Each structure stands twice: as C-alpha cells, then as structure tokens.
Amino acid sequence: MREAKAAAVTAERPLESAHRIGQLVPAPAEASRRSPVAAALITMRPQQWVKNLLVIAAAGAAGALGHDDVPGRVGVAFFAFCLLASGIYAINDVRDAREDRLHPRKRNRPVAAGDLGRRAATVLGIALMAIGLGLCVFIAPLLGLVGAGYLALTLSYTMIWRHLLLLDIIAIGGGFVLRAVAGGAAAPVALSRWFLLVVTAAAVFVAAGKRYAELRRTEAAAGNGELVKRRRVLEGYSEFRLRVILAASAAVALFAYSVWAFQIPFADGVPWRLLTIPLFAICLLRYGRLILAGAGEAPEDVLFHDRVLQVAGLVWLILFALGVHAAS
C-alpha cells in the first residue's frame, strides 16, 4: 500500500513541477473539440472588432456620416479593417503558437490548442487580408494605401517592434491612428489634427496599460515561485516607468480632447461637444484605475465587463451624436 502511494506521489511531482515553472515544455491546451468553422471564427476574434469602430468614429467626429453615401462607404471600410485585423490575428497565432501555449489565457486559442492547423490558419489569414485590402481599394485608392500601411505596421510589429522598448507602444498606437485615418479616407473628409492627437495619446494610454498589466501578472507569478516566460521587452520596463507613460498620455489625451471640443461651435446654443469632456475624463480615470488594479492586458474584456465604462461611454456617445445631429 505504501509503495502504491509513493508511486502515485512520484508520478504527480513532474506535473506539479511543470506547472510551477510555467509549463516550460510547451504542451497543447486541453482538447476543446471545436469544429473547424468554430475554430476559424474564434481565431478571427470578432470581439476585438470593437477597436475598428474608430473608423466610423473618425468620420462621425468630422460630421460626415449624414452626407450622401458616406455611411455606406464608412461601413464597408469598417468591415474591411475587421477582415484585415482578423487576418493578422490568424497569422500571429501561427507564429506565436509555441509561446501562446505557455500563457494562461492564450493557450486556449485554436492554433495553440490544436483545433486549427497551422496551414489552415495561414490560408485563412492571407485570404482575409486579401479580401479586406481589396475592399479598401474598391472604396478609394487612398483607403487602399492606408489599409496597406496598417498591414505593414501590424505585421512588422509582430516581427520587430514588439521586441523594442517604447517602440512597441508607439507601434500599437500607430495602428489606432491608421484606423482613424482610414475613416477620413473612406468618407472622404479631413480630420482635425487635435482629433488625431487625441487618438494617438489614448492609444498610447491603452498600449501602456497592456504592458503594465502583463508586467504585473508575470511579476506576481514569479513571486509565487513560478518561472514564467514573458516578452523580452518587459525586461526594460518597470511599474514606475509605465505609470509615467500612463499619466502623461492620459493628460495629453484629455488636453487635446478639450481643445478639440472648444473648437466646435455651439449647435442651437447648446455646447454639446463641451458636455462630453467630463465623460471623456471619467472614462480615462476609470480605465486608468482598472489598469493599476491589474486589468488592461485585454482591453476589449475591460470594455465588455465594466459597467462604469459602459454607462459613461454610452452617455458620451449620446451627447456626441446629438451634437453632430444638431450641427447638421
């Protein structure tokens, strides 16, 4: 009886050790038995398409959504950027499959879990990017150039920029700026420089929040005695440095948004755009608080689960839309 117990304990120890060192030997996630279609849809990550709403927001901020065929053009541009982003996600999942298997959340992605083959994911990614870029060119040649620039930036981010201190954050911010530029190109309409500065600063804020949350998670795991593999670029960051970036980018975003709002004339005597400044500030402060609490590694999860952000964002959207309607 004692020998059997000893054998059981001995058999469990390697598994326990592997868990404590952060799964240094890549192992596929638990089989989820997802169908190829379901695996492909999950790989496309439609929950992250919310980021591409910036394409629509840019045209809306310029008050162009009520003009002629602009809504249709911007809607197609939004869909095109969703396809571009999904294609990039598929290619990245193929490239990062081994690393994803070491991550507590990413290890369940279809490619890492073995539900979607590497070749199938590659074909899916190339097809989505080709269709998305084709739609961009169909809407406007300039939009095609913006779409190509977005692909070049995001693909090079995976290979180069995400490994370089500060440039990784700037590259993520650049992706958001190109989404806004895409909205202007699809309309077509000129975008305010202050609006672009708001987008840039807010994007840096979100990107720095992703790094801060990832740094805290890996440091907490290391504090528990686990050897966790993490991005090489995190070695150059510290919580203090990222807090400085968060504070500076939030301040710039709020200042630029206020200046931009003050430049918009009143509609029917109502300062609609000015009324949105406090709500924008609430969203920044709330998101910053969540980041400091350890959230922010997946911004879309924060947005979909935090009631304060949802309510403040909804009221902001209503006031913003009323202002655009009154001005038109």
pLDDT digits (tens, 9 = 90+) for 222-265: 777 665 666 778 888 999 999 999 999 999 999 999 999 998 87
Residue 283 lies in a domain: yes
Q: Which residue has the tokens 């000129």?
A: 190
Q: pLDDT per residue over 8-54, tens digit each?
A: 444 333 333 333 323 333 444 444 578 999 999 999 999 999 999 99
Cα distances (Å, whole numbers) of residue 259 to 255, 286, 290: 6, 21, 26
What is the mean predicted confidence (pLDDT) over 322-327? 76
Residues 177 and 196 in one domain: no
Residues 37 and 184 in one domain: yes
Residues 199 and 180 in one domain: no
Secondary structure class of 241 (helix, strand, coil): helix
According to the model, what pLDDT value does residue 268 have?
72
CATH of the domain at 145: 1.10.357.140
Domain boundary among the residues 137, 170, 190 is at 190
Pair 93, 111: CB distance under 8 Å: yes
Residues 114 and 59 in one domain: yes
Confidence of residue 149 (pLDDT cuts 50, 70, 90): very high
Angstrom distance (rounded) from CA 156 to CA 110: 23
Give which of 229, 232, 235 is closest to 25, Cα–Cα: 229
% of residues, the chain, pLDDT over 90: 61
Of 70-74, 101-105, 186-190, least confident by mean pLDDT is 101-105
Q: pLDDT per residue over 108-129, tens digit each?
A: 999 999 999 999 999 999 999 9
Angstrom distance (rounded) from CA 53 to CA 44: 16
Residue 185 lies in a domain: yes
Residues 61 and 186 in one domain: yes
Q: Which domain holds residue 50?
A: 32-190
Amino acid (1-letter code) at residue 73: R
Residues 163 and 274 in one domain: no
Q: For helices 141-159 and 118-139, what crossing angle results, to 10°?
A: 150
% of residues, the chain, pLDDT over 70: 88
Measured at the CA of 203, the angle between CA 197 and CA 204, to 5 degrees, comes to 95
Residues 186 and 247 in one domain: no
Residue 43 lies in a domain: yes
Give which of 256, 159, 262 is closest to 203, Cα–Cα: 256
Q: Do you find a cis peptide bond into 188, omega within 30 degrees of 0?
A: yes
Residue 77 lies in a domain: yes
Residues 171 and 304 in one domain: no
The total number of residues written for the chain in this structure: 328
Q: pLDDT per residue over 174-194, tens digit each?
A: 999 999 999 999 999 989 999
Domain count for the chain, please give it.
2
Residues 166 and 55 in one domain: yes
State the DSSP code for 162: G
Residues 162 and 203 in one domain: no
* CB proximity list for 100: less than 8 A, separation 6 or greater: 93, 106, 107, 109, 111, 112
